[in-house]
Amino acid sequence: MEYKNLLRGIAMGVTDVVPGISGSTILMVLGVYERFIASLSGLTNPREWKKSLGFLVPLGLGVVTAMIVFARVIRWFLDHHQPVTLFFFIGLIVGILPILAGEINIRRSFKPIHYVLLVIAFICIAFTALIPSEVDLMTNLSMGDYILLFVSGWLASAALILPGISGALVFLLLGVYTTVIHAISEFQLLIIFVVGAGIAVGMLLTSKLVRYLFANYTTYTYAVMIGLVAGSIVVIYSNVLPGGSVLGCTLTFLAGLVIAYLLGKVKK
């Protein structure tokens, strides 16, 4: 068991609750993202599954703990102090970008094609800010609703694995975000189980693809992922409500930058 992963999981879980920011981005900053992908992929390998579980179990416990403990807290901040809260996460992502760029040493390794891929990934994620979404709480759920929640979990699993694509954003776009967050904060176990099952199935499949891309197309993969992370800034900013304190937003933005810097130091 790697108990440091409990803290990594908590950091990952906190960010996964917020639409527009991915917990996988935090794992990249902490330097364990590729190992995370390898561990997920290794769960189906008879020779790797025990080692993979030793890495993933404490990480998963941290994520679950964060979502249970912080879902209510973040929901309260988003309900009562939405602009300053989102500017904190914008600052966090802006601060993370130089760290990700340093991972691959952009100046030496990037060619024109890599910049093209980065821009395309940025545009694809930024474009999701224009997609309208329904976020009403689902009540009296039918079998069709549960199937939608399972499929939403499946699709969100790719977002949990890919930096810059937020699982919460996928839930938002599919119209189940409010329902999922409410289920977590109110311990509605059936909904949590259905969504979790979709996430688990999807993560096993997506991790194998990402592991292959990292092994065979490392620089191309990093280019796309940096673009995804950068594009998520546009997504979060598009959700900022008017009327926030300029001073408050500035301070929380700077706080996000500082946290990103400290996370980079923790990795080192």
Packing angle between helix 189-216 and helix 143-161, nearest 10 degrees? 30
pTM of the model: 0.73
Please name which of 133, 128, 122 lies closest in space to residue 171, comparing C-alpha atoms: 133
Q: Does the CA dihedral 227-230-232-234 come out positive or negative? A: negative
Tens digit of each residue's pLDDT (9 = 90 or more) over 26-68 = 887 777 888 888 888 888 888 888 888 888 888 889 888 887 7
**Range of the structural domain that residue 31 is part of:** 4-267
- Give 239's contacts (C-beta < 8 A, 6+ positions apart): 19, 20, 82, 86, 129
Tens digit of each residue's pLDDT (9 = 90 or more) over 144-182 = 888 989 988 888 887 777 776 667 767 877 778 778 888
| pLDDT value for 2 | 63
DSSP string computed for 42-70? HTT-TTTHHHHHHHHHHHHHHHHHHHHHH
Number of domains the chain is built from: 1
Say which residue, 264 or 250, is predicted with more confidence.
250
Rg (Cα) of the chain, in Å, rounded? 18
Please name which of 76, 64, 77, 73 lies closest in space to residue 13, comparing C-alpha atoms: 64
Please name which of 211, 201, 256 lies closest in space to residue 233, comparing C-alpha atoms: 256
